[in-house]
Amino acid sequence: MDMRRNTNTDIKDALSRSTSLFKTYKPVSPGIRHLKRPLNPHLYEGRPVRALTIAKRKTGGRNSHGRITVRHRGGGHRQRIRTLDFVRNEPGVFDVVRIEYDPGRSAHIALVCSRNPADEGTQRWKYILATDGMRAGDQVQSFRQGIPEGFIPDFDAARAEASVEAGEGVEQQKGGQKASSAHSLALGILRTMTLKPGNVLPLKLMPPGTVIHNIALKPQGPGILVRSAGSFGQVVSHEDAERYTHVRLQSGEVRKILSDCCATVGKVSNPLWKSINLGKAGRSRWLGWRPSVRGVAMNANDHPHGGGRGKSKSNKHPVSIWGWGTKGTRTRKPGPKGPKNSNKMVVRERPRGKDKRN
């Protein structure tokens, strides 16, 4: 088995043409002429930790009645679902053991191990979203429970957090400018030691301009926003009352999020995922995707564009199979321009149309 695997590896190496970012192949067959893959030599080539996975039972896009409710799904290689920790509640230092591929998402995942000897099983070993540039041997830490005492010598973390929350001026304390400068120095040291890629922090402790991902919408909830490959958000500003933080999402939308909510510092891994070229239709079938048929190629009872003699568009506006406009037609108006109180948390909508060019 090992000899066969080594032979296959030698053949792939002989046919590959590595570039600085992507791996291409000598076109000895039509299926690999346009095949283009990102170079990820740091990925672990073995199997995942089975205790951190669950079986994936495929449905082929059909519901309990056997009717197709999600189109273009079916087939594909057998997969197991990796259970990721999007909350990261446990404090302490975690060591990154390896970076792995996850078939269930576009980003890479990292296997981390706790340094606490009392932890066992899934408390000791976890999968988390890998940040861009994360490698085996790195250290990550979660400050969701707050800054631990003694984390920074000669600095009371609890008092610093309280002053950040209440927006109190240290100048009013005894010592005046000395206390203010000491507080600023301690706050700078705190940000230097905590603002590292892969660490989890409350938004209130992040300065404006910090690049983040895996953003939670509830103080004790899991990370929900900005989790796909290469995506990132950015802290824009903190409100005076320190209740909300303005965050720019990947789409360009600026949204208010509670300052007690947590996010992970850094950018999501695998930014070159969007430039992958599968090279042939069969490789898409291996991933579980079935073909997409054009509406004009269907019968009239299958699609609004179907029917007619020849390739007739019949002067209709392009619509989806369910009849609503499919070329940029607005079906609702979220955010400030929409109905009253439709989404009070959106400060500025994502750019559309001409706004995208600016």
- 304-321 pLDDT, tens digit per residue, is 999 988 888 778 889 999
Mean pLDDT score across all residues of the chain: 87
Look at residue 186 and tell me whether its pLDDT is greater than 80: no
Q: What is the C-alpha separation between 310 and 77, in angstroms, rounded?
A: 38
Look at residue 166 and tell me whether its pLDDT is greater than 80: no
For residues 341 and 189, the model is more confident at: 189
Look at residue 191 and tell me whether its pLDDT is greater than 90: no
Q: Which residue in this structure is represented by tokens 């240290």?
A: 170
Tokens of 349: 């909508």
Name the band, by pLDDT with cuts 50, 70 and 90, for residue 297: very high
The pLDDT value recorded for residue 151 is: 78
**Residue range 222-230: mean pLDDT, rounded:** 96
Buried b (16+ CB within 10 A) or exposed e, 50-72: eebbeeeeeeeeeeeeeeeeeee
The pLDDT value recorded for residue 337 is: 60
For residues 301 and 2, the model is more confident at: 301
The pLDDT value recorded for residue 125 is: 95
The pLDDT value recorded for residue 350 is: 87
For residues 129 and 354, the model is more confident at: 129
The pLDDT value recorded for residue 171 is: 42
Q: What is the C-alpha separation between 86 and 95, in angstroms, rounded?
A: 17
**Residue range 208-232: mean pLDDT, rounded:** 96
Q: Which residue in this structure is represented by tokens 């030599």?
A: 41
Report whether 201 contacts 194 (CB < 8 A). Answer: yes
Laid out side by side, the sheet with 37-38 consists of 16-18, 22-25, 37-38
The pLDDT value recorded for residue 174 is: 47
Instruction: Report pLDDT digits (tens) over 257-286.
Output: 999 999 999 999 999 999 999 999 999 999
Lowest mean pLDDT among 202-216, 279-293, 338-352: 338-352
Who contacts 229 (Cβ-Cβ below 8 Å, separation ≥6)?
Answer: 105, 106, 107, 108, 268, 269, 270, 271, 273, 274
Tokens of 13: 């190496």
DSSP character at residue 139: E
Name the band, by pLDDT with cuts 50, 70 and 90, for residue 334: low
H/E stretch holding 187 reads helix 177-194
**Residue range 297-309: mean pLDDT, rounded:** 91
For residues 81 and 117, the model is more confident at: 81
Name the band, by pLDDT with cuts 50, 70 and 90, for residue 343: confident
**Residue range 183-187: mean pLDDT, rounded:** 76
Q: What percent of the chain shows pLDDT beyond 70?
A: 85
CB-based contacts of 313-321 (< 8 A; 24+ apart in sequence): 321/71, 321/295
The pLDDT value recorded for residue 170 is: 42
Instruction: Report pLDDT digits (tens) over 83-120.
Output: 999 999 999 999 999 999 999 999 999 999 999 988 88
Instruction: Report pLDDT digits (tens) over 153-163.
Output: 655 554 555 55
DSSP character at residue 275: G
The pLDDT value recorded for residue 261 is: 96
**Residue range 32-46: mean pLDDT, rounded:** 95
Residue in 123, 90, 95 with CA at minimum distance from that of residue 111: 95
Whole-structure pTM value: 0.84
Q: Which residues pair with 84 in a beta bridge?
A: 127
DSSP character at residue 233: E
